[in-house]
Amino acid sequence: MSKNTMSKTLEKQPSVMRTVSIVSAAYIIMVLTDGSTLSFGIFLTDFADALEVGLGVVGAASSLATAVAHIFSPFGAFMASKIGYRKTVMSGTLLIGCGFLASSQVKEAWQLFITHSIITGFGVALVYTNTIAFVGLTCDRHISIANGVTLSGTALGWIMLPLLVNTLKAAYGWRGSLQLLGAIVFHATVISQIVFKIESKIVARSEEKTENDKFLEDCDNGDANEDINEDKTLTEILREYLRLPITYPLFLILIIVSNLIVIAFYGTLYHLVSSAIKKGIPEKKATLLMIIYGIGSMIARLLNGIPIKLKWIKTRNLFAVALIIAGVSSFVLPFCTSYLSVVLVILFIGLASGTCMPLTYLSAREIVGIDNFPKALGMMLFTTAFAVIIGGFFTGWIYDVTGSYNVAFFIMSALFFISCFFLVLPNIWFRCKKNKMKNDDNVETVL
């Protein structure tokens, strides 16, 4: 890289205070938006009683909100490219808050699917993708740490919001507490208005080689870089989305890995409490397992970027280690007989999930480059929408068929190991090809 290019790259980096303010704001926004949305399950029994429907109906509304958020993630990235990250994130936070307020007034089950599944879910699509993308674009120098800290906000929401909501429910009832939660979410709108300014110095850095480029060069397939034009039609942007897995083969593999991971983690997470109760663990102790999972996830999300930043380990290798830990933990879970052993295993699963989630996004950024990162993030979330839905359903279906969670957890464990295999498969293939080329060269030399 030339001196002029190096100086331009350094000029694009925000100050330390600016980086801290961006990451802190993103962290709080994640707590208030994604954390509160994923904690919506606190109100499931209240909705079921008030609307006189089964838990399956209100549970579907909650899961569908996450699916909607994933499906519309590419649109969130497109919207940010047109009106900017600040306005897009502000719009999303307003939709989430309004979705909570409207949900507190529903009288029929179908209304909940509109207020929470669609309005709140669409709001999360605008906030989640663009918050991560904005941090990825502005905090390039400290991206591994900034990415992990930002995503740890979701885990803190899992831990703190249930406690807050239970306190509010005791004082104001479940409808009143839901209204207050919606009002609290509006604070994210103010934060994004203050902090999420568009950085004029954020421009394309096509000089930097991505992980995918290096892999293709090693395989003698050329460079995959493309010129990036800012003003594009929706059709052109859609074509770019569809070309990403073709242009970047490693990104296609990452999409497969992310889908397997989502099925395995959601399939395990949604049934932690139920499986513990089936083991004979009291309901209150079983409920605490969700907090243990959240604590493990938060710790891992906060700390996973440090060894990468210090260059102790590569992103891909740490990712593989986390998948192995998740696979072993899920496999061991059915054999746990004491409450302490269950807690330890759940803690390891939380640590593994908290490591895998940030590294999925960080890997995508390393593969496609900083310019294509927002689109890659949106597409990856879009492809995992169906996996989010089937994760919890598949584990429940296996239990209904077999009468035990053991088989389901064994399958989840297998999915983690398969994900690890796909993650390291390109390196295995490249090393085999490299060794073959060396052997051919040696044969030619001997001849």
Average pLDDT by stretches of 10, the chain with 447 residues: 40 68 90 85 80 77 85 87 89 95 92 93 93 86 84 82 80 90 92 74 47 54 43 67 83 91 84 80 79 87 86 88 94 90 92 90 87 85 82 76 86 93 79 60 52
Domain spans of the chain?
Answer: 12-198, 208-447
pLDDT of res. 434: 58
- Topology of 208-447 in CATH? Growth Hormone; Chain: A; (1.20.1250)
Question: Is 32 in contact with 184 (CB distance < 8 Å)?
Answer: yes
From 2.40.240.10, 1.20.1250.20, 3.50.30.30, 3.40.50.720, which CATH number describes the 12-198 domain? 1.20.1250.20
Amino acid identity of residue 372, one-letter, is: N
Looking at residue 279, the DSSP 8-state letter turns out to be: T
Amino acid at 383: T
Identical fold, 12-198 and 208-447:
yes
Task: Decide if 93 contacts 120 (C-beta within 8 A).
Answer: no
CA angle at residue 334 from 330 to 335, to 5 degrees? 110
Instruction: Tell me the C-alpha distance between 385 and 259, whole Å.
Output: 9
DSSP per position, 129-164: HHHHHHHHHH-GGGHHHHHHHHHHHHHHHHHHHHHH
The whole-angstrom separation of Cα 267 and Cα 260 is 10
The secondary structure of residue 206, as a DSSP letter, is T
Long-range contacts of 178-182 (CB under 8 A, 24+ apart): 178/43, 178/100, 178/101, 178/103, 178/104, 179/100, 179/101, 179/104, 181/36, 181/100, 182/96, 182/97, 182/98, 182/99, 182/100, 182/101, 182/104
Q: Which of 165, 135, 164 is nearest to 150 (CA)?
A: 135
pLDDT of residue 147: 86
Amino acid, single-letter form, for residue 431 = R
Q: How far from the centroid of its chain's Cα atoms is residue 152's Cα?
A: 10
Specify the residue for token string 């770019």.
Answer: 240
pLDDT at 141: 76
* Contact between 382 and 390 (Cβ < 8 Å): no
Side-chain half-sphere of 9: how many Cα atoms within 13 Å? 13
